[in-house]
Amino acid sequence: MADMSDPSQAKLTGLLAASLGTTGLRKADEVRALEAEVQRQEAWYRKIAIGLFGDGGDKAYFLSIYGEPSADNPWGYRFDGHHLSLNFTTLEGGVSPTPFFLGAEPRSIPEGGIGGPVGLRVLADEEDRARELYESLDDAQRKKATLELQLDRGLFVGSGERVDPNLPRVGIAGADLGDAQKKRLMALLETYFGNVAPGLAAREKARLEAAGIDSVHFSWAGSTTPGAEIYYRVHGPTVLIEFDNTTGDGEHIHTLWRDPTRDFGRDLLRQHYESDQHEH
């Protein structure tokens, strides 16, 4: 971004707004603004960041376009940098918004911090709605849902190029939840879907509902005390979400939303080539 002209930066903001909608764009901006607080707290990070990216601050982020934007042919773009990696692939009106990565450090802005108002939590809904779901479980349900907490483990399953289609789903299944708990699970999923534009979020919700909320599994590791180190996972036929806050004394969050079949538009491309019969 630091190398773009002002008009180009304005067009980039428009592209991100069209992809993310109001909520997602706000979070992406807040993630970038948190870089000032990270650099204030961690002099070693500032040296590394400047060495890699230059002293760009919240503009040390990069746009990559794959293919040529077209209404008919496959293309995509990535916008990424520290704690932010957004990937959108489009083909004939279909759009894949995954992988979708947001991070936050610190978890909340401390007194005397910069990058936002004191107490700002960029990923508050992602954390709080999962905690509320876990706290709603009875003892038997919680036994199914609970994983062992492993500190400094990072994302367990979501960082590879592809999601393993044979990856077992762990935790409690939606089929074992009560109606109110299923609504909490859906609210958590909608938090992630809501980080993209409303029309795209609605399509992702419809795909999940078609696959069935009963087949979605939820698992949690760690304390329910706000600010403690935690990890949780949501895994179903169309979605794999991980929330990791196991490093930095509970002040360093990574979230990743993936689709086991559609990351980088893979199923869109497959359908395109099958229907096209490789004629072009």
Domain coordinates of the chain in residue numbers?
6-276
Residue 7 confidence (pLDDT):
97
Given this model, what pLDDT does residue 278 score? 44
Q: Residue 129: which residues within 8 A CB-CB, separation 6 or more?
A: 184, 187, 188, 191
Is the pTM value of this prediction over 0.85? yes
Structure tokens at 124: 């508050």
Instruction: In whole angstroms, give the CA distance from residue 182 to residue 193.
Output: 16
Residues of the chain with pLDDT under 70: 43-57, 93, 158-159, 267-280
**Closest-CA residue to 149 (of 164, 132, 137, 134):** 134
| Contact between residue 243 and residue 226 where contact means Cβ atoms under 8 Å apart | no
pLDDT at 279 (0 to 100): 44
Q: What is the pLDDT of residue 52?
A: 59
Residue 280, pLDDT score? 40
Q: How far apart (Å, rounded) are the C-alpha atoms in residues 190 and 202? A: 9
CA atoms 159, 173, 204, 221: torsion sign: negative
- Phi, psi (5° rounding) for residue 65? -115, 130
Residues 6 or more apart from 85 whose CB is under 8 A from it?
A: 78, 79, 99, 100, 101
pLDDT digits (tens, 9 = 90+) for 132-169: 999 999 999 999 999 999 887 777 776 677 888 888 99
pLDDT score recorded for residue 213:
98
Please report which helix (H) or strand (E) contains residue 48, including its range. Answer: helix 43-53
What local confidence, expressed as pLDDT, does residue 80 receive? Answer: 94
pLDDT value of position 156: 72
